[in-house]
Structure 1
């Protein structure tokens, strides 16, 4: 579509502005992310459909816990799809290990969707037709059962889920894309900023032409390792002193990340939202995770249940 539009402009059949309008935004996604092979896709019927929460495509073996995903990826560098009823911060390492994420519940602003987009990973969220049974290591759609280790393919641009392996097509960034973007820059009235929460994300956005950061969600700096433990301590603190102690642990992390973000963005504008942690994103949902956190912080499981 992009090549046709540019060729028509060269032949005088379209103006630059008309050529830009001929290209649908989703076509640009195909140049930025892996896609499922269209011919092979047509030969397969989708087994389920959810929301196209993060564009691109992913093919991998179904895995149902973050721990298993991390284990298989570190041991054998396996291609995996993390399948969950819904994700939570405990799943972050599994999401990082997976090629893509599939959830039965959740919307475009769910934890899975937001984190996947930040990671640049394919995600299909809210696929209500699937029933996920993490403990049994399978999900079902009607009479079909997909077990751990079975291959599935995700189309994050359409929300479709397929059984088996569909070939992937690598993105092709070529001169026509750059030409179209330069034309678009000459006509647009708005500046394009990004949502970035880490120096790494900021650098990627800058490379894609972002003119600053429209929102740094400071709570998204704390999804990993010791960081999330400190946030949980802050949320669950029963006194002002306890909250201050937890916040003091977060300060070095924030300083480091802000310095990195400002360094990447140089003199471009950066808008920061102060700490506003949604409880459902930071507190554990699984009983075993609640017990582990309760022991670590020294409070009762009941207290965590009450707040979560």
Structure 2
């Protein structure tokens, strides 16, 4: 149990009674908890706990904000919007504005915030997010003035309107298309006018102009997203408790779309596909975080950041190493660069393939700064995962078996080889009784039912930390992403050679090499099996020996 002002975790399901002061159920990221924040995921959610840990324990550069605790979401699900929560959020927002030297809704220098979910367990892309909240037709002019960049301000307003309409108001993104926004201030202004009118037509109301109303509705949208169909489907697949609920994190905005020295990215401290001790992820200049994970943009490998911003890359490397040593595990980190300054927006344990889990566990035992115990290593990689690692290793070899039928090579995002019939929609995948490979330009959270029913995923857009890549790795589904020379139509997949792979045709994908073949690739021989284990999983024998010792010691006890 925590002490002091923290809610007792043992009674989290009914931690906040009607008389509980709601202001005390909301925690600034730097709140002086009696327990270490990383241990408070049932109270703060995974994201909130990570933000608090980075600020209070490690002193890492994190934009300030506050966490609306998990028990408040649980109370909302039981009773509806709690009385007094509006006033409590307003108070904490005012305090955040004091820290930032800005005021929420100020026409001259507005405080803008991001509203993000943060469940106690990782549910990538399943819950809702709203960025740039606080903009309206007046505050956008203030943002343009204080930043000295009208184009940036109107681009941020465009992004806000689109995200608010889809996330909070329930408008489908396809209904919001009003043409390309262009890349000039004037074209962005015109686009915003058209977008606002389109939202009014489709939703029957405007996006609220009052920032406090925007914030209330956004927080409630995040609460509601816990019970969305996509979230329920994901929890059923992962065996996550339906009653858990989510926290909401309200955080001062930092802008990756603010000039040439800005950008955003997602990075793993080690390769989550192979376990290799190299940074792995995507970076996108002049963009915001949702651009990277949505899989709609052509991202850059994280290594390109070293050439673009050498000093920031070095700082990022050093910060990531601190996190990995602190958590004694692979970390998945979201970051933003605003005008040459690095900010971290999230850290959590990185989802990894079975092969990577084996390699990482053994390497962390041998890491002099981490020194994971053999017992800890075995507990992180149980027998079922070790068997999956063997199966994945087999899929890594023999990649030239069908070179004459090679269609394209994309990015190997989740290891393993999959053979299946091509389907182009999540509904087709979910309804299939045989092995299918879901082929999409990019996947969205709404596609999770089809993704869960597929033996493999192939996308023509997106990078190594796109939605398709992250979910596939977490579920050990082979995936190839960013196969940019392929296009999808109602008939099937078109390759540059003129080849058409029709819906229902069989293809093979390799989530390690990124290769895609027409037809089924033959199974490796026994000799290849032996070579695969020796080459791909040299750490496995040590882990198996520790497992035997662990089991023997357990028997003796």
Q: Identify whether the pair has TM-score above 0.5, normalized to the shorter chain.
A: no
| Bigger radius of gyration among the two | 2
Normalising by structure 1, what TM-score? 0.44
Q: Which has the higher contact order (CA 8 A, sep 6+)?
A: 1
